[in-house]
Copies of this chain bind each other. A is one copy, B any other.
């Protein structure tokens, strides 16, 4: 249903820096929500719930941490 949404920006987990890896983790987490709820108006309404609710914020942090673990491993932790 949500197939046209691009789920991995740039179709790659590789980023030049840890900072950009972290940004990618946030984007990938958001794109799963977009794929599950493609209606932008509904998402906008839910976004204000996320941002005002302590539990939501912490659960989003948990998801980003999990995505970032994968991205960091893909980049060998950006070690030189």
Contact = CB atoms under 8 A, between A and B. Distances in A.
Using C-beta atoms within 8 Å of the partner chain, give the interface range for chain A: 35 or more
Interface in A1-23: 2-3, 6-8, 11-14, 17-19, 21-23
A20 B38 CA distance: 19
Main secondary structure of the interface of A (DSSP, over half): helix
Nearest to A29: B61
A63 B32 CA distance: 10
Nearest to A62: B63
A19 B51 CA distance: 28
9 contacts: A7-B19, A11-B17, A13-B77, A42-B52, A55-B55, A59-B62, A65-B70, A66-B66, A69-B70
